[in-house]
Amino acid sequence: MESPHPNGRVAVVTGAGSGIGREVARQMLAAGYRVALAGRRREPLDDAAGGHPAALVVPCDVTRPDAVERLFADVLGTWGRVDVLFNNAGVFGPAAGVDEISMADWDATVAVNLTGSMLCAAAAVRAMKGQEPQGGRIINNGSISAHVPRPRTVAYTVTKHAMTGLTKSIELDGRGFGITCGQIDIGNTSTGIMDTIGVGSGALQADGSRRVEPMFPVADAARAVLMMADMPASASVGSVVVTAAGMPFVGRG
């Protein structure tokens, strides 16, 4: 009987209950990875896992250090190693300018998008340093907002710019341990929370107008993440930008 995880590699996917994380987890399972699906709520994680024999569902709030430690302890206890972390959990935060955002909204956005990503990366690096063979790959989900902001997205944009610094720091600090880190910046992929950009009045533009923008399937975004994960240990993929063809990114604003 064929093994349910023939490539033997172990991946952790945060924010796996919906959107990009869900599709990445499902494609990784189909490709033969053993996948730990992490997110706040068990029900959507169970649905994403679909009863797959190589799936491990671990409810986890990435803003809590103790919860992140339990997540990676569960993975190591089940499979003994971590080969890939897709650091995907994130929120858009409020629609607000720098002079409007409340401290509570700012702190909540930073806690998930930046601190949560740092906590998961730290736990993954500790696991990757301590395992045999040593090493692994971290893929951070940035955004095209790591390059160019949309109007009234100060908290989201700042965290995504900071994600780029986190990615580069992990890549540098992991170099001596066989750990690589890259960032994928995705623009206008079709997920429930993004679909309003491609219909109705569309997305707010820099000149104050609204425009319906092109979208592309989330399955194709996930394929790009899987490509990064599948690269051999001898290669480091530092940065990938994938957008809907024709979206206002180059020359945005």
> Known catalytic residue: 156?
yes
Q: How would DSSP label each residue in 45-109?
A: HHHHHTT-TTEEEEE--TT-HHHHHHHHHHHHHHHS---EEEE-------SB-TTT--HHHHHHH
**pLDDT mean over 112-119:** 98
Decide if pLDDT at 129 tops 80. Answer: yes
What CATH number is given for 10-242 in this structure? 3.40.50.720
Q: What is the pTM of this model?
A: 0.92
Q: Which of 156, 188, 225, 228 is catalytic?
A: 156
The percentage of the chain sitting over the pLDDT mark of 70, rounded to a whole number, equals: 93
Q: Where are the domains of the chain?
A: 10-242
- Separation CA 83–CA 179 (nearest Å): 9
Please write the tens of the pLDDT for every residue from 140-185: 999 999 998 888 999 999 999 999 999 999 999 999 999 999 999 9
Please write the tens of the pLDDT for every residue from 36-51: 999 999 999 999 999 9
pLDDT at 4: 46
Please write the tens of the pLDDT for every residue from 191-219: 876 666 766 778 888 888 888 888 899 99
Decide if pLDDT at 226 tops 60. Answer: yes
